[in-house]
Structure 1
Amino acid sequence: MKGIVFVELIKMAEDVFGEDAVDNVLDKADLETGGAYTAVGNYPCSELVKIVVAFSEHSGLSPEALQVKFGHWMLAVFVKSYPEFFKDKTTAFALLESVDREIHVEVKKLYPDAELPRFDTERVGEDRMMMIYSSPRPLEAFCLGLIEACLVHFGEDADIHRAPHPSQANATTFDIALRA
């Protein structure tokens, strides 16, 4: 997993809990890297999960709630750092549809070794989209946070239901229905 994810998780934690608390939590988390990450490095997802669990224990928030919060944080990072991916999009659905077709294509150009999740989208109507998130990493809640933040970014509101994909391992189906 690319280091930018780890770097931003630490930044979010510092923003929420403070630097001293982050140092203490990382020291106790028994991390192979000792909690030192670079944005361009590659690290095991298991280490990210350890960090989330450690902050969950520190804060009392569930690991899922922290992942959702982190999804919101990361979308803000993407908007600021990669405005070109957002400039011609006018809806959350348009952005979500562009993840695999445009955004991940560009990411692969920069980081050929990146192991990216898949986002298969299908419009079920003008106000409804089905999105299948496929990844061996247990980050469905992070994905939910990204979707929620994307909707907020475009000033849209939706009901989002998720469930394990019925016939695809390591996949979650998100049913996103815009509210009027």
Structure 2
Amino acid sequence: MKGIVFTEFIDLVEEKFGVEMVDTIINNSNLASNGVYTAVGTYSFSEMLSLLRNLNKETGIAINDLLLIYGEHFFSVVEKSYPYFLTQYNDPIEMLSSIENHIHVEVRKIYPDAELPYFMVVEKTETTLIMIYKSSRAMSSFGKGLMNKTFEHFNTNATILVENIKENGTEVKFSIATHG
């Protein structure tokens, strides 16, 4: 998992819960990196799981809720560091439907060894989108957080329904409809 995902997570924890919480979750996790991350480094997903589990234990906030908050936070990284991902599109449905065939292609140019989730568009209209998310990491809530902020960025209201296809969350159906 790319280091930027870790550095931004640590920034979010510090911002929302304080530097003491960062120290607590790092100290309570058995991390090969010792909690020292660089944005361009690559780290084991097990470290992210450990940090999430310890943050869940300390705060009582469900891991999927933490991932949703983190996905919403991570959108600001996209806005600041990769604004061209946003300026190429006029509406959120168009942008989200291009994740696999355009956005992830561009991400792989920046981070060739990035392990990204797979998004398959099942159905798309001007106001609806159905996509299947597949990832061994089961981080669809992070994706939903990014989607929430995408709609906000385009000043569009939407309902995003998430349905597990596989019980463990490694395959999920997103049903999205814009309104009002």
Provide TM-score, normalisation by structure 1: 0.91
Aligned-partner Cα distance in 2 for 1:178–1:111: 32
1:92 touches 1:150 (CA, 8 Å); kept in 2?
yes
Deviation at 1:164, TM superposition (A): 2.4
Match of 1:151 in 2: 151
1:85 touches 1:103 (CA, 8 Å); kept in 2?
yes
Aligned-partner Cα distance in 1 for 2:21–2:110: 34
Runs of 4+ in 1 over 3 A off after TM superposition: none
Match of 2:28 in 1: 28
1:120 lines up with 2:120 in the alignment: yes
Residue correspondence of structure 1 range 2-41 to structure 2 within 5 A: 2-41=2-41
Aligned-partner Cα distance in 1 for 2:116–2:83: 20
Match of 1:140 in 2: 140
Please provide the CA RMSD for this pair.
1.6
1:79 lines up with 2:79 in the alignment: yes
Identity %, equivalent residues: 36
Match of 1:91 in 2: 91
Provide TM-score, normalisation by structure 2: 0.91
Match of 2:48 in 1: 48
Tell me the matched-pair count.
178
Runs of at least 5 residues in structure 1 that lack an aligned partner in the other structure: none
Deviation at 1:30, TM superposition (A): 2.0
Distance 1:64 1:2, change over 3 A: same
Runs of at least 5 residues in structure 2 that lack an aligned partner in the other structure: none
Find the residue that maps to 2:98 and give its secondary structure. helix
Deviation at 1:21, TM superposition (A): 2.0
Find the residue that maps to 1:86 and give its secondary structure. helix
Aligned-partner Cα distance in 2 for 1:89–1:16: 31
1:172 lines up with 2:172 in the alignment: yes
1:96 touches 1:121 (CA, 8 Å); kept in 2?
no
2:89 touches 2:95 (CA, 8 Å); kept in 1?
yes
